[in-house]
Amino acid sequence: MLDLKWVRAHPEQVREALRRRHQDETVLNELLAKDEAWRADLAAVEQLKAERNKASEQIARGRKQGEDVTAQIERMRQVSDQISALDGKVRQLESAVRDLLLAIPNIPHASVPEGRDDRDNVEVRRWGEPRTFEFTPLAHWDLGVQLGILDSERAAKVAGARFTFVKGWGARLQRALTNFMLDLHVKEHGYLEVLPPFLVNRESMIGTGQLPKFAEEMFKVEKQDLYLIPTAEVPVTNIHRDEILSTADLPLYYVGYSSCFRAEAGAYGRDTRGLIRMHQFEKVELVKFVLPQTSYDELEKLVNDAEAVLQRLELPYRVVCLSTGDLTFSSAKTYDLEVWMPSYGRYVEISSCSNFEDYQARRANIRYRPEGGGKLEFVHTLNGSGLAIGRTVAAVLENYQRADGTIQVPLALRPYMDGIEAFPPRGLQG
RNA sequence: GGAGGGGUGUCGUAACGGUAGCGAAGCAGUCUUGAAAACUGCCGGCCUUCGGGCCUUGCGGGUUCGAAUCCCGCCCCCUCCGCCA
């Protein structure tokens, strides 16, 4: 969330940010009105409390000296009643202010291009050349059935639509990709590997910004009041919730592997086939906690770390800077990595790398003491997919398919697949 | 799930129901050739008309003029028992 004091002092900048995001300004107007009412009542109730504190002291002192204090106690009883009445109102206003503040998205960074939606995103660079096929390439869902490695029909029976079984060489490929990505980030990019909880509480969801605004997109376990994580970003960023980090520890780099669960309300009818849009998918997520003055350099490095995965796999991709209209709620600036997908005939999102500045840190209360002492300050948090594994499986299948229906194994993955050059290998069964 | 113990500021520890004390680390200032020591302040949050005021003892209620303290509910951690991959 934004700093309430800052919002109060710069309402026009917030209004401008909402305009750039093409979002309704009424939240802000409501916030400013409620905030003013809250502060007025707060001043009144605090005055009464000051009176009560003074009187209590007098009562204690008077009683010690054997004076009759019953009249004072009687008067204070009335003041106390006034306090509890007004206090209730103050608390109500305070939580209304907080709810409204939680509903205001982050301020886009000055370098974020203006735009209404994804059509206005700006391509930053391209890497690799989309392959030209000497035969008609198949979509990964068709390859999956042909090779017997994807089974969405039985998954529909067992779980429902938008789930799949990955089997045999497909499962093997996915496991290889997972290990390859984790090894790359741990051994070469300096991230600490974490296997996080896949269920988190409400506070964690608020901390990273999924709640309260996006409850419909989440799976919830009603009985225990827990949520299935939509990304490892949630548990991993919340590792340091309500903590004070020391400057010497920063920056902190984590890489978390998890399954991700998304209800995706409103997405029905889009990407219904294949591995692109699922209720459950696996992802390797990069999360950083950094000093504020370094966060934009760290964002560039984060994007490079995610790009390295695609480069090693020799998959053509492009980097896109999201426009103000396409930026996610908590993000100040986001780069998407889009991989070439022959079945779509275009680039498809496979990673999203964002700088949240102090927006999540303020919500999750993650602070540090600046070098040389002084006030505690909020860290900056960043995260990015490194990468979405299901979509990477799809990209490998489609980009590495051969005329005979087999899939060539990318060089970088061979150490993870017993050195085989393609699957299914000759004379071997999956 | 059951029994017992615990949760206090950056950390560690106190406080017969009378309004949160002491110690340590860090930072700034004074002193010093410099450093250490010593002293003072800061080192949680909010409001403010900048005088100050309010809040903060895991969370939420209750009793009371007044709650870290007493009562009720919940959460988390530790120990033991039970169950379990």
Residue A216: predicted pLDDT? 86
Which of A142, A141, A178, A390 is CA-nearest to residue A277? A390
Least confident interval from A65-74, A145-154, A241-250, A343-352: A65-74
* Other residues' Cβ atoms within 10 Å of the Cβ of residue A414: 13
* pLDDT > 70 in chain A, percent: 98
**C-alpha span between A335 and A304 (Å, rounded):** 11
- A343: Cβ–Cβ under 8 A, 6 or more apart, which residues? A137, A138, A139, A140, A141, A274, A398
**C-alpha span between A402 and A326 (Å, rounded):** 36
Residue A327: predicted pLDDT? 96
Asked if residue A233 has pLDDT above 90, the reply is yes
More confident call, A354 vs A60: A354
A176 φ/ψ sector (left φ>0, alpha ψ -120 to 50, else beta): alpha
Q: Which of A98, A277, A318, A369 is catalytic?
A: A277
**C-alpha span between A354 and A77 (Å, rounded):** 54
Residue A430: predicted pLDDT? 47
Asked if residue A78 has pLDDT above 90, the reply is no
Asked if residue A74 has pLDDT above 90, the reply is no
Residue range A108-146, pLDDT digits in tens: 999 999 999 999 999 999 999 999 999 999 999 999 999
Asked if residue A428 has pLDDT above 60, the reply is no
Q: Is the CB of A270 under 7 A from strand B?
A: no
The reply to whether A131 belongs to the active site is no
Calculate mean pLDDT across residues A381-403: 97
**C-alpha span between A327 and A116 (Å, rounded):** 10
pTM of the predicted protein model? 0.92
Calculate mean pLDDT across residues A173-199: 96
More confident call, A369 vs A105: A105
Residue A72: predicted pLDDT? 81
Calculate mean pLDDT across residues A244-253: 87
Which two three-digit tokens encode residue A10? 């710069």
As for the ipTM of the complex, it is 0.84
Mean pLDDT (chain A) is 92
Confidence tier at A70 by pLDDT (50, 70, 90): confident
- Name the helix (H) or strand (E) containing A285: strand A280-290
Q: Is the CB of A372 under 7 A from strand B?
A: yes
Strand partners, A354: A334, A383
Measured between alpha carbons, how far is residue A105 from residues A71, A93, A314 in Å?
A: 53, 21, 36
> Which positions on strand B lie below 7 Å from a protein C-beta?
10-11, 18-19, 26-28, 42-49, 53-55, 65-66
